[in-house]
Structure 1
Amino acid sequence: MKAHPVVIVLAAGRGSRFRGHEHKLKQDLGEQSVLGQTIGHAIASGLPVVVVTTEPLAGESARWVARRDVVVLPEVGAIGQSGLGMGYSIAAGVAARPNVPGWLVLPGDMPMVAPGTLMAVAGLLTQHPVVFAQYRGRRGHPVGFSAELFSDLVQLTGDEGARRVVARYPSIGLEVDDPGVLVDVDTVDDLAALRAGSRAAPPAAQNVP
């Protein structure tokens, strides 16, 4: 059976800008939670999915994927833990699925990314080491990494994400007709706009970042 790139859904952040009573990823968005819709779109792409999260969200994650596909990390700020953050989460997800053709990084608070966008980014990883989705010239998610970058990715730490890896290797932006690649849920207002169906993508940039 042919192996496919794995979608790594990042759900280990605190969501500190969201001032609701519950974590932003647990908030209702239609019939699912924000995280549930993000994971659902990833599953609908037909690609394997791994969710990297913390204990408070492990149960929510396991509603959508098998427990073996949930990587549970210490919470950011936990006593005795240092170097946690987005970079560490990416490294954990990659390390959990080492023998695959690549990885697509998708933040858990981006529930509007279409399954077809994930498939399109995955398809280009056979030709390029780094591929990111973009809409009207603006860089978004997912960001895909080919298998050759495994050693770089598993050494990531802290909250910088994979910026240094992206800067170090040739990358290509894939233009998609999917404004969801730019839409995340950072604040209560973001969530309200999504619920109302009124969240529009930012205007097009003059140059590709």
Structure 2
Amino acid sequence: MKPVHAPSPPVPSQPVGILLAAGRGSRFDPSGAHNKLLTTLPTGAEAGLPVAFVAARRLRNALPRVIAVIDGDPDLTPAQAAHQRTLRDWLTKAGCEVIASPRARLGMGASLADAVQASLAAAPAVASAPPATAPAAPTGADAKAVAGGTPPPGWVIALADMPMIAPATTQEVAGALLAAGDPLALVAPVYEGQRGHPAGIGAGHLAALLALDGDRGAGGWFKASGFITVETGDAGVLRDIDHPEDLG
């Protein structure tokens, strides 16, 4: 009798989207009373919707799987924790898987690493109602187990305070990443000579992504190694919401 082997998990055919939504937004409101990602857009077809929801929905409209990472710091104030619960609900409504990074206070690099770890686990088969709290990003032995999962062909990294990026632009970045045929490929949109977001990162960077910590993300890699450009007329690739006046 031939031995029966368990089937290998399917390899994802598309990059996984990662939405970084764990920042404190101190430049938007130094007091911390208002979370900029929950601030609503004042004009346009998406007026009245939170910044992060619009960014998440546009990313999810471009990619079949999106993981959003929020702030899971156990020392959040009650007001900050309430903001994160509301943010989680909006991101879930947009179609994202939401994880809470307990290391978010360390900076973007730590949050990104936690989201990449989460992307190695199989996507939920059926969407369910959001839990009372967002699942924490894996740490310690759990993180090592997840890190042994099947990586996608890459990641498309977007920022939750950039709600104006068209889904078609994100699809172009993902398509260029796949077309490169190089696991070490880096892809970014360029608008009028300026590099923007989202960033496409090939699967060959997995170990380096998991090693990120603190506030340094992957942006420096594009300066050091060069990248594949996607020329675009989409000004949204440069437009972020750092201050209240940026909403106008």
With the shorter chain as reference, the TM-score category is 0.7 to 0.9
1:70 aligns with 2:98: yes
1:142 aligns with 2:198: yes
Q: 1:43 to 1:76 in 2, by over 3 A?
A: closer
Alignment of 1:181-192 (within 5 A): 181-191=237-247
- The separation in 1 between residues aligned to 2:96 and 2:64, in whole angstroms, is 16
Partner residue, 1:107: 159
Structure whose alpha-carbon radius of gyration is higher: 2
Question: Does the CA-based 8 Å contact 2:154-2:201 persist in structure 1?
Answer: yes
- The separation in 2 between residues aligned to 1:12 and 1:34, in whole angstroms, is 13
Partner residue, 2:7: none
2:109 partner letter: G
Match of 2:40 among 16, 28, 32: 28
SS in 2 for 1:134: strand
Q: CA deviation at 1:75?
A: 6.4
Give me the TM-score of the superposition, normalised by structure 2: 0.69
Partner residue, 2:218: 162
Off by >6 Å, runs of 4+ in structure 1: none
Question: Does the CA-based 8 Å contact 1:35-1:61 persist in structure 2?
Answer: no
1:174 aligns with 2:196: no
Alignment of 1:111-130 (within 5 A): 111-126=163-178, 127=180, 129-130=185-186
Structure 2 alignment gaps of length 5 or more: 1-9, 42-46, 73-80, 121-150
Q: Deviations over 1:40-67 (max 9, x none)?
A: 1011113311101114324423333279
Partner residue, 1:205: none
Alignment of 1:2-13 (within 5 A): 3-13=13-23
Give me the TM-score of the superposition, normalised by structure 1: 0.81
1:89 aligns with 2:111: yes
- The separation in 1 between residues aligned to 2:37 and 2:96, in whole angstroms, is 20
Q: 1:10 to 1:58 in 2, by over 3 A?
A: farther
Question: Does the CA-based 8 Å contact 2:69-2:115 persist in structure 1?
Answer: yes
Structure 1 alignment gaps of length 5 or more: 78-83, 194-209
Q: 1:131 to 1:68 in 2, by over 3 A?
A: closer
Q: CA deviation at 1:76?
A: 4.8
Q: Report how many aligned residue pairs link the two structures.
A: 186
- The separation in 2 between residues aligned to 1:163 and 1:93, in whole angstroms, is 16
Question: Does the CA-based 8 Å contact 2:70-2:104 persist in structure 1?
Answer: no
SS in 1 for 2:214: coil
Question: Does the CA-based 8 Å contact 1:36-1:61 persist in structure 2?
Answer: no
1:44 partner letter: N
Question: Does the CA-based 8 Å contact 2:68-2:96 persist in structure 1?
Answer: no
Partner residue, 1:15: 25
SS in 1 for 2:88: helix
Partner residue, 2:88: 61
Question: Does the CA-based 8 Å contact 1:125-1:145 persist in structure 2?
Answer: yes
